[in-house]
Amino acid sequence: MKQPKILTFDKLPCKIRIHIKKENGILEKNLKTILVFICFVFSAALHSQSIDSLKAVLENAPPEKQFDILNAISEKTMFSDPKTSLQYAEKAYEIARKSNDEKLLLDIFDNLTEANLHLGHPEIAEDYCKKALQVAEKSKINRELAFYYGLMGIVFMKSEDFNKSLFYFNKALEIEKKHNFDRMMATTLNNIGTANLKLGKMDLALEYFLKSLRIKEKVGNEKQIAISLLNIGSFLIRQKKYEEAEQYLNRSYKILQKLDLKIRMADLLSLQSVVYREMGLFPEAEKKLKKLIEIREAIGNRREKAKT
């Protein structure tokens, strides 16, 4: 029987960065507070706007605001239109490169890497990620360094070089443990579990999936908890432990339904249909498949609208 697809890895946590220029190495406290507030409000406003409105803003934006707008458009089009996402990321990269601003470079390298992965260009993605690691190592920003070690691990996951992916995931994990980056650590532990799963190390994979879940429950990230529950349920299906898988998937279902995460819900329903079929509960399996078709159609319609 054909095995269901495993959720291959968590998306790395989003990075929130504030760009503040230093004057002789000293930051005035009051000025910093004002700048942080302004940057936060500007960033939040950008992400609440549609792609069309962002493009309209870009036309008349002063040079110092163009990077943030280009970056925002790149992020918003990443999944619906990765080719367009890459084009805007490259424009933002030119601004960052010409200004030689390390923080701007680190802010755009992840979009450049991810867009190239979506487009099936792992070698280009690897090159951008290497550049990001060089900048992060030079600037000694631990969170960025951990982030890009993790992203490099994902690049090698896509290339199916799972031993290399483990090498980079473990480098990320070392930094995350040292600096108590719990949310990032939870993602990395999940990714280590996935890499071990791909290498056929089943017991080790489950151990890391459960470690990841415990940290996610500790920090209270419901979306990430649901992803871990999905991964564990999927893993248990491979082990033919269908009753246990059902329990984890049902827990995930409640969270995904609450958060209205349709793409993840599609993954879940696919797995639930397998579980119920294997348990001989064919009417339940059919219900899940019908719901899966409805959600996939809704996702398809939403993606088409996002392109316009």
Mean pLDDT is highest, among 1-5, 20-24, 42-46, 248-252, for: 248-252
What is this structure's pTM? 0.75
pLDDT at 271 over 50: yes
Between helix 162-179 and helix 182-198 the angle, nearest 10°, is 160
Mean pLDDT confidence for 214-218? 95
For a pLDDT cut of 70, what percent of the chain falls above it?
81
Instruction: Average the pLDDT over 215-236 and give the result.
Output: 92
pLDDT reading at 6 higher than 70: no
Per-residue confidence (pLDDT) for residue 51, from 0 to 100: 81
Instruction: Convert the pLDDT of each residue in 12-43 to its tens digit.
Output: 444 433 333 333 333 333 333 333 333 433 44
Quick one: pLDDT at residue 2? 28
The whole-number average pLDDT for the span 198-208 is 94
What are the residues whose beta carbons fall under 8 Å from the beta carbon of 244, sequence distance 6 or more? 236
| pLDDT value for 10 | 52
Average pLDDT, the chain: 83
44-51 own/partner pairs: CB under 8 Å, 24+ apart: 46/72, 47/72, 47/75, 47/76, 51/76, 51/77, 51/306
Query: Comparing 133 with 46, which gets the higher pLDDT?
Result: 133
φ/ψ of residue 23, rounded to 5: -110, 105
The DSSP annotation for the chain comes to -PPPPPP--PPPPPP-------BTTB--HHHHHHHHHHHHHHHHHHHHS-HHHHHHHHHT--HHHHHHHHHHHHHHTTTT-HHHHHHHHHHHHHHHHHHT-HHHHHHHHHHHHHHHHHTT-HHHHHHHHHHHHHHHHHHT-HHHHHHHHHHHHHHHHHTT-HHHHHHHHHHHHHHHHHHT-HHHHHHHHHHHHHHHHHTT-HHHHHHHHHHHHHHHHHHT-HHHHHHHHHHHHHHHHHTT-HHHHHHHHHHHHHHHHHHT-HHHHHHHHHHHHHHHHHTT-HHHHHHHHHHHHHHHHHHHHHHHHHH-
Cα–Cα nearest to 245, from 3, 2, 12, 10: 3
Lowest mean pLDDT of 25-29, 194-198, 267-271, 276-280, name the range.
25-29
pLDDT band at 304 (very low <50, low <70, confident <90, very high): very low
pLDDT confidence of residue 302: 57
What pLDDT band is residue 301 in, cutting at 50, 70 and 90?
low
225-307 folds as 1.25.40
- The answer to whether residue 106 scores a pLDDT higher than 70 is yes
How many whole angstroms separate alpha carbon 190 and alpha carbon 205? 8
Q: How confident is the model at residue 133 (pLDDT cuts 50, 70, 90)?
A: very high
Confidence of residue 64 (pLDDT cuts 50, 70, 90): confident
The answer, yes or no, to whether residue 208 has pLDDT greater than 80, is yes
The predicted structure's pLDDT at residue 158:
93
Residue 67 has pLDDT above 60, yes or no: yes
